[in-house]
Chain A
């Protein structure tokens, strides 16, 4: 187990360096001068030259790469935001928790729905419940998240007025008592989480159903029945626990997609997270922010997958006791 952990940590570290390299490569391979976004048209040549030197853009590319790598990884210095005039690190750190909260809540929704419904479908394999759930999953798997969000907004926010249409808190949230503020936060979280979670739930559902059907046909399940155990015990204690193992791994590997989905949801619901920040920064041509947000998103994904992998390994005694 420890060997596995060490190996995965090392691989993740390599991945992070790889991410940085990829980001650097994309930025520098792009046509045009990265300096363009920093300067206004009327700036004179001397100022431009100074700026270039300041930003280190006059150095050869490999040198730039090393310098940049060092400042990102060891000093956590992401530079200064062009539009906001504050250092990028604080901008990103402000946005990150919102994305994390959204993503984690969506993950919970996705697991809760996907696992329970997947098991249900597997137990009623071939019958109407299974077919119905399968069709529902197909629908939520295929529907664009921004459209689903729009429809839910139309219904719950604008028609019924039950839920707010965006942002993390109401404007006057500071003046509320703590429990009211908590409830307010929850109301704002509800729609984005549902939208982000439902699509993922559909894919987890498929996976869980497939895994459960596989496990139910294995020898030890039939043997458990033959030994006289109750059906509930066999299904919930034995079959389910075995079927959950690959689901954990699969969920881990879909964390990158979850973060990607957050981009759209954040834009739709004005959720001040990493995704919306990135889209805004693209509009404002704020190069340092774009580089930082994509990098941080990548790192989050890597760490998330790592965590899920380790968890899956720990849960399976066959792997855990290997090393």
Chain B
């Protein structure tokens, strides 16, 4: 996209992300009703009392959507934080250590990348039992690989730079070197990797919730709401429309933000590379 349009798009994306977070954080205040409370008005279409209608048990859709934002955003962002933490550590250690450590780390990366992420998540969920926390951890544990590769590449590139060599010559302990000198250089790459991952992670969480294996009832989640409404889709169009629209908009916003940040922080990353980073459908 031409850069002026791209910049504007990134700003719009960022604004929507902030809005989503605001909705999530202030859900208890913003919700007109208790999301778990069910009333006699079942399957009510959008109207004056329930602005976005009610579901088949009588819960207010708008309130559930607001609380659903919490699920999606918390799980998504937390999973990404876990993923980049693991990935950064692995990348630093592998890039710096070299040899066996590097080989082991990179083979692990290859192994985990070869496994379809969703199947691995299903495997873990099958044996540990579905829950929002588990999904967060699993998505984090299956998302660190790209970050690790990126950080490792940065470390390898920076290893022989003068300021690093000088620090080593002075006898600086490795841990301090990695933390105080190498890590700051990688922040740009890490931020870009993180934001590009957010969209996919939110999609993964909603998919798992849709399958009933993510955020569990009665907690609200957008994917879960779509699943719950499966039986009544044809008559209650509002139950099928709003959660999906919100997921899509949120993911679009995160992707726009990610693209914009990439252009700003790491323009050297070619378009090919960044298309690759974000790709894990």
Contacts and interface: CB of A to CB of B under 8 A. Distances in A.
A298 B116 contact: yes
18 contacts: A14-B107, A134-B1, A139-B248, A142-B199, A144-B207, A146-B223, A151-B244, A154-B233, A207-B272, A207-B275, A207-B276, A214-B272, A259-B116, A278-B119, A279-B122, A282-B122, A294-B119, A305-B114
A65 interface: no
Interface of A: 11, 14-15, 18-19, 22-23, 26-27, 30-32, 126, 131, 134, 138-139, 141-147, 150-151, 154, 158, 199-200, 203, 206-207, 209-211, 213-214, 246, 250, 253-254, 256-261, 263-264, 267, 275, 278-279, 281-283, 285, 287, 290-291, 293-294, 297-298, 301-302, 305
Nearest to A289: B126
Contact of B233 (A150, A254, A294): A150
Contacts of A11: 110
Contacts of A214: 270-272
B207 A146 contact: yes
B266 to A, nearest CB: 15
Contacts of B212: 283
Contacts of B223: 144, 146
Contacts of B128: 30-31
Interface string B78-113: 000000000000000000000000000001001101
A19 B111 contact: yes
Given A26-B123, A131-B2, 5 more contacts: A22-B111, A210-B271, A257-B117, A278-B119, A281-B126
List of 7 A-B pairs having minimum Cβ-Cβ separation, nearest first: A260-B118, A30-B127, A210-B271, A147-B244, A142-B251, A257-B281, A260-B116
Nearest to A208: B275
B115 A143 contact: no
Q: Is the interface of B mostly helix, strand, loop or mixed?
A: helix
Interface residues of B, number: 52
B137 interface: no
Contacts, number: 176
Interface in B161-214: 199, 203, 206-207, 210-213
Contacts of A144: 203, 206-207, 210, 223, 244, 247-248, 251
Nearest to A19: B115
A210 B275 contact: yes
Nearest to B240: A150
A207 B277 CA distance: 11
A203 to B, nearest CB: 5
Nearest to B5: A131
Contacts of A145: 207
Given A264-B210, A278-B119, A290-B126, A211 B272 contact: yes
Nearest to A246: B272
Nearest to A159: B234
